[in-house]
Chain A
């Protein structure tokens, strides 16, 4: 089904994905694993940064505030973005159309519960690492502690690597199948891709504010709209103005209260 070049790319992305996924929990947490970084990085490895940028942006917005608190393990957005990007690029044979990007994002819906289940299994299994530390004589505790703790990195890597190795080929095959369906479905997925950023924005607003029509949201919207439409300002100016408007809004609110 896949030629040797595609198989090599699947292996390469699975390995790199495993390393990137370590940043999510086990090592560093410098946020290389966030969709907005991991997506373009995967796209770059496979030769299509744009696909990674589009998928990464959308999934970043949708999963931005799904955060790990206590024992809650959220859906793994890193696995989702890397699988979706790889599936779109490999299934789309190089330069995927927008509809294929939308379809591969749709496939990540299946991945969310799967990644949560995999994470839960691994984190339950990791309890054995602690048991291992206490299993022998007391004088060996430091050595066993180091071994058990570092073994955790390998466990997290293997979990992600296996997930990539299984999910990317399935996703790529699904995208290849989708590439051959009638035009109507492609039109639907193109529209879907263009509407997803709004769902992402809604997801962020819902988590950041208790109001649907938050004052800061409106301030940012009006600032950007006026600068963009009336003055044709550069996007960097618009973003900086929105930030300044937010700071002024906070200052004003605190002065009033």
Chain B
């Protein structure tokens, strides 16, 4: 729920302080100190929402050490500032740029071939990874007091991002290669032979990719495609 009150001005600031509040309440029984520490955590904060748990764990550990009177050399505000940008970039690249496409494309591949259970496959594939890392990062952050190196070593996110992106591309190829067995709603034509369906799909996709690379946006292409379909329908090709 770290993003429940996300705003352009403060981003995840309130969410971070809200998540840390029960911990601070427990370790600082004295009201004034609790209030001063809570206010300290209301400084600007924004990172990838799942990996925020790592910083939360680290902040909780630093606060706990401080409340126990241990010599804390790391400043909690500094730690948050140092970690939030790199973890934001790492998390965006891994979760949004690699894991989500992989889970989605696996689901879309089986869905287009007729599997009704594809949405469950997507949720399973995505959440197994996401929940494992989200929960694990919280405890790892607490245990290592925010050692980003430990996070990188344990989850290998940069390496796995590359692997997942490559598999995702293979899955896109697989989806196109399965064109003759797509469910009827998606199949281009029931009359075309399998090989011709495959090649038509591949050529259409590559042409659209080339158009997108030349500065076209999906929205513009959606409109353009509708216009092309209308022309084809008038010519009797789409009948």
Contacts and interface: CB of A to CB of B under 8 A. Distances in A.
B175 to A, nearest CB: 6
Interface in A8-39: 25-32, 34, 36-37
A114 interface: no
A216 B100 contact: no
Given A202-B209, A205-B205, A40 B119 contact: yes
A239 B109 contact: yes
Interface residues of A, number: 112
A53 to B, nearest CB: 6
Nearest to B118: A36
Contacts of B127: 30-31
B35 A190 contact: no
Contact of B115 (A109, A202, A222, A235): A235
A130 B169 contact: no
Contact of A201 (B6, B50, B172): B172
B38 A142 contact: yes
A67 to B, nearest CB: 4
Given A31-B126, A220-B177, A62 B222 contact: yes
A148 B234 CA distance: 56
Contact of B107 (A36, A201, A213, A220): A36
A158 interface: no
A182 B187 CA distance: 23
Contacts of A25: 3, 6
A26 B7 CA distance: 11
Contacts of B223: 109
Interface in B137-189: 162-163, 165-178, 180-182, 185-188
A205 B163 CA distance: 15
Contact of B109 (A37, A242, A245): A242
Contacts of A68: 96
B17 A145 contact: yes
B225 to A, nearest CB: 6
Contact of B177 (A37, A191, A198, A228): A228
A21 B116 CA distance: 22
Interface string B37-56: 01100100010011000000
B100 A250 contact: no
B104 A60 contact: yes
Interface of B: 1, 3-10, 13-15, 17-18, 21, 25, 31, 34-35, 38-39, 42, 46, 49-50, 88, 92, 96-97, 100-101, 103-116, 118-119, 122-123, 126-127, 130, 162-163, 165-178, 180-182, 185-188, 194-195, 198, 201-202, 204-213, 218-219, 221-223, 225-226, 229-230, 232-234, 238-239
Given A206-B209, A208-B169, 13 more contacts: A30-B130, A36-B108, A41-B119, A57-B186, A101-B185, A124-B7, A142-B35, A189-B226, A204-B172, A209-B169, A221-B174, A235-B109, A247-B167
Interface of A: 25-32, 34, 36-37, 40-41, 49-50, 53-54, 56-57, 60-71, 98, 101, 105-106, 109, 112, 120, 123-127, 129-130, 133-134, 138-139, 141-142, 145-146, 148-153, 155-156, 184-185, 187-199, 201-206, 208-209, 212-214, 216-225, 228-229, 235-236, 238-239, 241-243, 245-247, 249-250, 253
